[in-house]
Each structure stands twice: as C-alpha cells, then as structure tokens.
Amino acid sequence: MLNELDALVNIDFATRTIKPQLQSLKIIRIGTSGSLQKDIPVDSNLASTHGLGIDNLMNFYRQEHNNEDKQLLHSFITQTQLQSSMAYPYIAGAGSSLLKHFVKDFHQGITVTCPGFYGPQGRILRLGLSNPHLIDRLTQFSFGQHRITNFEMETAAIYGMGKLLGHHCLSLNAIVANRVEKTFSKDSNKAVASLIKTSLEIISAL
C-alpha cells in the first residue's frame, strides 16, 4: 500500500522513471488494536509514537536505525528474548508533524506490529504457542520513558516504509480489547466511529 501510494505521486507511469521532484505525503491510519497496559482501557484512543515490528517486513529493505533506536531494539530483544525464534525486530517513529496534534484525549506509546492475528498475538485455538509468555513480556518492556502500549498488524510497516520513502505517517487506534485485564469493548463499532469523528475534527483544523 505504501509503495503504491508513493508510486502515484513519485513515479512517471508513462516513462516508468522516478520523478525528479519528489512529493511527501501525509498518511494517517485509523484502525483498532489491543491494549497491553492496565491503564489504557477499552474504548479509549491511542496515537502510536513508534511502530516496533516483529513481522519481518522492513528486513527486506535497506534501512538504518539511529543510536536511540538501536539501543531501544537491543533492550527489547534482551528483555523479551524474541529474537531466538522470530524475525529480527525493527522500529520506526511516527511523523512528528502529525503526532503533535494528537495529544489531548489520546494515549501515546509504542505499538508492536505482529504478522498475524492468532498465534502472533498470543491467541490459542487448536495450536500451541512457541512463546506463551509473549503478552507478559511485551507489557513489562520499558526503555527510559518508552513502553509498549498496544499491538496490531500494520503500524510498524507503515512507519518503516513511510520513513524510507520520505512520507509523514501516523497510526491512530481505537482500543477494542485490554489483553492484560481481559476486557473487551461492548460496542467496538461505536469506539471506531468515535475515533474517526475525533480524528477528522483534528485533521480538518490542520
């Protein structure tokens, strides 16, 4: 999706060449996620300061992390011990020019991006989990003022691709489940509609 949005503005389809003047897009994802902290309840809104990917996507692209990101990733790997059987994690930050507008009435924190809905997010149907303590390890992670607040399946990929392509990206989440408290929204459609309304009001004022 990010590649194709970028291609629409930065590739000349007639000549199949990259345009000499590149455009930078502002891309805002509005979706749902599960909270990994007790103090972030269902039906609340969250803006992702970072996307931390354990989905492996960005490892297929050339990328560089700054020193703080390298230290955060090292701490994440050490504390969670996820690198032994999973893809090497990566991290990318939100577009600061967008994030600063989503502070009031929004929780903020690191969003972990998983490659699937069931096992990768600690859910069990018939299959056992290779890492049954995943949620606990994500919840307990801390690095300075940073903590993991939620997880889903898109944010890190959007932030990572956006960073490499020069776009400003932001991920907004309606919290529809609290995986620590084991509580779930009684009306997730209402929670999503509320987030959309709040976000559009902020966006229209930018």
In tens digits, what is the pLDDT along the chain, a chain of 206 residues? Answer: 999 999 999 999 999 999 999 999 999 999 999 999 999 999 999 999 999 999 999 999 998 889 999 999 999 988 887 766 677 899 999 999 999 999 999 999 999 999 999 998 889 999 998 888 889 999 999 999 999 999 999 999 999 999 999 999 999 999 999 999 999 999 999 999 999 999 999 999 98
Nearest to 2 by CA among 29, 21, 20, 32: 29
Closest by CA position to 79, among listed 56, 57, 112: 112
Residues 82 and 124: their CA atoms lie apart, in Å, by: 18
Token representation of residue 167: 């776009």
Other Cβ atoms less than 10 A from the Cβ of 78: the count is: 10
pTM score, two decimals? 0.94
What H or E segment, with its residue span, contains residue 171?
Answer: strand 168-178
- The helix (H) or strand (E) run that includes residue 192 is helix 188-204
pLDDT of residue 83: 63
Sorted by sequence, the CB contacts under 8 Å of residue 72 that are 6+ apart come out as: 91, 143, 146
What does the pLDDT read at residue 134?
86
Tell which residue, 80, 99, 98, has the closest CA to residue 88.
80
Is it true that domain 25-204 has CATH number 3.30.420.10?
A: no
d(CA 174, CA 46): 7
- Nearest Cα neighbor of 65 from 170, 159, 148, 2 is 159
What type of residue is 136? D
Q: Which residues contact 102 (CB under 8 A, 6 or more apart)?
A: 47, 108, 170, 172, 199, 202
Supply the pLDDT for residue 55: 93
